C-alpha cells in the first residue's frame, strides 16, 4: 500500500516555494560596476511591490526624447529608509545615477541615486560593494 499525498498538498507547497525562486539579487540583473547618468523629466512613478519604478524622459545627443524605466527597491524598504512616494512629483526635473542592465537592455537601470531640481539627493539602498564586504565578513 502506498502513501499518497493529495494533489492540493503539492500545489500548496509549489505556491509557497515560487516566491523563493522569483527572488533575485541585484547583481543577477544589473552590473554594479557600470553606472550611467541621465537628466530629464520624471514622467511616472509606480510605487508597487515587489519593486517601485520611476520613469524619466531624457533627450539624447540629437534632441530625441528617450524614455527610461528605472527600478528601485521594494516600497516598504524605501519607506523604512525615509524615501516616500510623496517625494516624487511627475513633471519634476531630476538627474538619476543608475546601474546598467547586465543583459545590455538600453534605457533600463537600477537607481543608485536621484538628485532633484532643488539640489537635494536621495540615495537608494547601500552601495553593493559595501554589502559584499559586509556579507563576506559574516
- 98-123 pLDDT, tens digit each: 999 988 888 999 999 999 999 988 88
DSSP reduced 3-state for 127: coil
DSSP 3: -
Is residue 90, in this structure, part of any structural domain at all? Answer: yes
- The alpha carbon of residue 81 and the mean position of all alpha carbons in its chain are separated, in whole angstroms, by 15
The CA-atom distances, in angstroms, between 81 and each of 95, 116, 125 are 20, 18, 8
Is 68 part of a structural domain of the chain?
yes
Is 12 a member of any domain? no
Does this model's pTM top 0.75? My answer is: no
- 54: domain CATH number is 2.40.50.140
Question: What's the rounded Cα separation, in Å, for the pair 134 and 138?
Answer: 7
Tell me the pLDDT tens digit for each residue of 33-87. 899 999 999 999 999 988 999 999 999 999 999 999 999 988 988 888 888 999 9
Say yes or no to pLDDT of 9 above 60.
Answer: no
The pLDDT value given to residue 131: 46
Amino acid at each position: 500500500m502506498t502513501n499518497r499525498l493529495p494533489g492540493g498538498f503539492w500545489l500548496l507547497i509549489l505556491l509557497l516555494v515560487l516566491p523563493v525562486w522569483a527572488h533575485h539579487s541585484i547583481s543577477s540583473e544589473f552590473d554594479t560596476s557600470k553606472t550611467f547618468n541621465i537628466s530629464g523629466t520624471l514622467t511616472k512613478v509606480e510605487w508597487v511591490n515587489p519593486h517601485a519604478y520611476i520613469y524619466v524622459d531624457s533627450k539624447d545627443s540629437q534632441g530625441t526624447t528617450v524614455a527610461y524605466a528605472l527600478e528601485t527597491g521594494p516600497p516598504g524598504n524605501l519607506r523604512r529608509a525615509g524615501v516616500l512616494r510623496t517625494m516624487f512629483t511627475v513633471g519634476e526635473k531630476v538627474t538619476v545615477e543608475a546601474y546598467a542592465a547586465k543583459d545590455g537592455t538600453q534605457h533600463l537601470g537600477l537607481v543608485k541615486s536621484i538628485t532633484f531640481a532643488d539640489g537635494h539627493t536621495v540615495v537608494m539602498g547601500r552601495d553593493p560593494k559595501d554589502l559584499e564586504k559586509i556579507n563576506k565578513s559574516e
